Amino acid sequence: MSFSLQDKKIILGITGSIAAYKAAELASQLRKRGAEVFPVMTAAAQKFITPLTLQTLSRQPVAADLWDEGNGWQPGHIELADKADLMLVAPATADVIAQFAHGLAHDYLGSMYLVCRAPVLIAPAMNGKMWTHPATVANVATLRSRGVDFIGPEEGMLACGYEGIGRLWPVEGILERVEKVLAK
């Protein structure tokens, strides 16, 4: 039996990985469990999956452009971050992990990360050489030291044709971790 996500507000960050297509299933499953899902896409993510797909599955507008925020007086990324119960980034690329570790806020997702005080869960997906590179290892260690939680990556066949670590953790496993984080 799973923990109810009823009325939990989850920011779903999607970055430029081939695994971005799995964010559609993740958004759908989160909604089925009762969560309100707010997709935030990087420009690179939109090369792999369309905002319309995530908007339809989440029933929320997709945030992607820092310069095209809501209608109110408060900047949209701040308003959304303030009401979040969890910020989930799945898939997360090495680029976004580095952006978060170094406090860069050049896009909607990076700006939201810096404002968000809710727990952050990152599900990496990238080439294994990128994942094990000393720069990525250091960036992950920095984020973990700040309380960011990681799930994965797992081993298997990668989109680049290599076999090894780097695959996005299975959607069901990510959902289980989300439930555990929010049950605390």
Mean pLDDT of the chain: 92
CA atoms within 13 A on the CB side of 69: 16
Q: What is the pLDDT of residue 1?
A: 44
CA atoms within 13 A on the CB side of 178: 33
- Cis, bond preceding 153 (omega within 30 deg of 0): yes
Dist CA 146 CA 178 (whole Å): 18
Positions annotated as catalytic residues are 160
Which pTM does this prediction carry? 0.93
Homologous superfamily (CATH) of 9-183 is: Flavin prenyltransferase-like (3.40.50.1950)
Dist CA 118 CA 149 (whole Å): 12
CA atoms within 13 A on the CB side of 13: 29
Q: Comparing 7-11, 151-155, 162-166, which segment has the lowest mean pLDDT?
A: 162-166
> Is a pLDDT exceeding 70 seen at residue 122?
yes
Q: Is 152 exposed, middle or buried (0-12, 13-18, 19+ CB in 10 A)?
A: buried
> Is a pLDDT exceeding 90 seen at residue 63?
no
pLDDT band at 141 (very low <50, low <70, confident <90, very high): very high
Domain spans of the chain, in order of start: 9-183
> Is a pLDDT exceeding 80 seen at residue 145?
yes
Dist CA 30 CA 34 (whole Å): 7
